[in-house]
Structure 1
Amino acid sequence: MVALAFAMLVVTSEFSIAAVALPAIGAELGAAPSVAAWVLLAYALPMAAISIPAGRWVDRADPALVITMSMVGVAVSSVLAALAPAMWVLLVARLLQGFAAGLTLAGYLPVISANVNPDKRGRALSVVVTIMTVGGMAGASLGGVLAGTFGWRSVFLLKLPLVVVAVWLLLRVTSKRRGGLPRPDGALLREAAVLSGAVASLLLAIDLPAKQPVLAGGFGLAAVALLLLWSRLPQSQQVVDLLRARTFGFTMAGLFLLCFNAGVMTFLLPYFLSDVLGEGPAATGTLMLVFIAALSLMSPVGGWLADRIGPLRVAAAGGAATVATTSLLLTLGPGSGLTTLGWQLALIGAGFGLFNTPIITAILASAPAEGTGTAGGVSATVRMVSQTVAPAVTALCWTVAGGGLAGFRAGVTALVLIQGLGVLALLAARRRR
Structure 2
Amino acid sequence: MKRDIAAPTEPNVEGSERTRSVRLGLASLSLSILLSALGTSIANVGLPTLAHAFEASFQDVQWVVLAYLLAITALIVGVGRLGDIVGRRRLLLGGIALFTVASSLSGLAPALWLLIAARAAQGLGAAIMMALTMAFVAETVPTARTGSAMGLLGTMSAIGTALGPSLGGALIAGFGWPALFLINVPLGILTYVLAHRHLPADSQGTARAPARFDVPGTIVLALTLAAYALAMTIGRGHFGPLNIVLLLAAALGGGLFVFVETKVASPLARLAMFRDPALSASLITNGLVSTVMMTTLVVGPFYLARALGLDAAIIGLVMSVGPVVAAISGVPAGRFVDWFGARPVMMAGLAAIAAGAAPLSILPATLAIPGYLAPIAVVTAGYAFFQAANNTAVMAGIAADRRGVVSGMLNLSRNLGLVTGASVMGAVFALASAASDIATASPEAVASGMRVTFAVAAGLILLAIAVALAGRALAARPALPDDTL
Q: What is the TM-score normalised by the length of structure 1?
A: 0.94
Provide the residue aligned with 2:218 in structure 1. Answer: 192
Conserved 8 A contact 1:314-1:354: yes
State the distance in 1 between where 2:268 and 2:212 align: 16
Cα distance, 1:272 vs. partner?
Answer: 0.9
Question: Are 2:149 and 1:124 aligned?
Answer: yes
Q: Deviations over 1:367-396 (max 9, x none)?
A: 223211011111111110110101222222
Provide the residue aligned with 2:231 in structure 1. Answer: 205
Between 232-241 and 398-407, the greater mean CA deviation after superposition: 232-241
Q: Deviations over 1:72-97 (max 9, x none)?
A: 10111111111111111111111111
Provide the residue aligned with 2:327 in structure 1. Answer: 296
Conserved 8 A contact 1:81-1:156: yes
**% identity of equivalent residues:** 25
Provide the residue aligned with 1:326 in structure 2. Answer: 357
* Equivalences for residues 126-205 of structure 1 within 5 A: 126-178=151-203, 188-205=214-231
Question: Are 2:471 and 1:429 aligned?
Answer: yes
**Distance 1:246-1:332 versus aligned 2 partners, 3 A rule:** same
**Distance 1:409-1:139 versus aligned 2 partners, 3 A rule:** closer
* Length, aligned pairs only: 431
Question: Are 2:248 and 1:221 aligned?
Answer: yes
**Distance 1:323-1:212 versus aligned 2 partners, 3 A rule:** closer
Conserved 8 A contact 2:227-2:247: yes
Q: Deviations over 1:275-305 (max 9, x none)?
A: 2112233232112221112112221222111
Report the aligned-residue RMSD.
Answer: 2.2
* Equivalences for residues 253-402 of structure 1 within 5 A: 253-401=284-432, 402=434
**Distance 1:9-1:177 versus aligned 2 partners, 3 A rule:** same
Runs of 5+ unmatched residues, structure 1: none
**Distance 1:87-1:296 versus aligned 2 partners, 3 A rule:** same
Question: Are 2:77 and 1:14 aligned?
Answer: no
Q: Deviations over 1:101-122 (max 9, x none)?
A: 1111221122111122222100
State the distance in 2 between where 1:267 and 1:211 align: 15
**Distance 1:177-1:302 versus aligned 2 partners, 3 A rule:** same
**Residue identity matched to 2:75:** I
Return structure 1 stretches of 4+ with deviation > 6 angstroms.
Answer: none
Conserved 8 A contact 1:312-1:426: no
Question: Are 2:59 and 1:34 aligned?
Answer: yes
Q: Alignment partner of 2:86: what SS?
A: coil
Provide the residue aligned with 2:455 in structure 1. Answer: 413
Conserved 8 A contact 2:101-2:185: no
State the distance in 2 between where 1:340 and 1:246 align: 38
Q: Alignment partner of 1:238: what SS?
A: coil
Provide the residue aligned with 1:47 in structure 2. Answer: 72
State the distance in 2 between where 1:300 and 1:66 align: 27
Q: Alignment partner of 2:42: what SS?
A: helix
Conserved 8 A contact 1:239-1:374: no
Question: Are 2:102 and 1:101 aligned?
Answer: no
Cα distance, 1:335 vs. partner?
Answer: 4.8
Cα distance, 1:321 vs. partner?
Answer: 0.8
Q: Alignment partner of 2:178: what SS?
A: helix
Conserved 8 A contact 2:360-2:454: yes
Q: Alignment partner of 2:155: what SS?
A: helix
Conserved 8 A contact 1:276-1:405: yes
**Residue identity matched to 2:156:** I
Cα distance, 1:140 vs. partner?
Answer: 3.5
**Distance 1:177-1:185 versus aligned 2 partners, 3 A rule:** closer
Cα distance, 1:186 vs. partner?
Answer: 8.4
**Distance 1:366-1:253 versus aligned 2 partners, 3 A rule:** farther
Cα distance, 1:417 vs. partner?
Answer: 0.7
Question: Are 2:142 and 1:111 aligned?
Answer: no
Conserved 8 A contact 2:284-2:464: yes
Conserved 8 A contact 1:2-1:127: no
Cα distance, 1:312 vs. partner?
Answer: 2.1
Q: Alignment partner of 1:13: what SS?
A: helix
Conserved 8 A contact 2:151-2:384: no
Between 93-102 and 185-194, the greater mean CA deviation after superposition: 185-194
Q: Deviations over 1:126-180 (max 9, x none)?
A: 2222233234433432221111121101110112121111111111112112359
Structure index of larger Rg: 2
**Residue identity matched to 1:265:** T
Runs of 5+ unmatched residues, structure 2: 1-25, 435-444, 478-485
Conserved 8 A contact 2:361-2:453: no
**Residue identity matched to 1:134:** I
Conserved 8 A contact 1:318-1:355: yes
Between 186-195 and 340-349, the greater mean CA deviation after superposition: 186-195
State the distance in 1 between where 2:294 and 2:135 align: 30
Conserved 8 A contact 2:330-2:385: yes
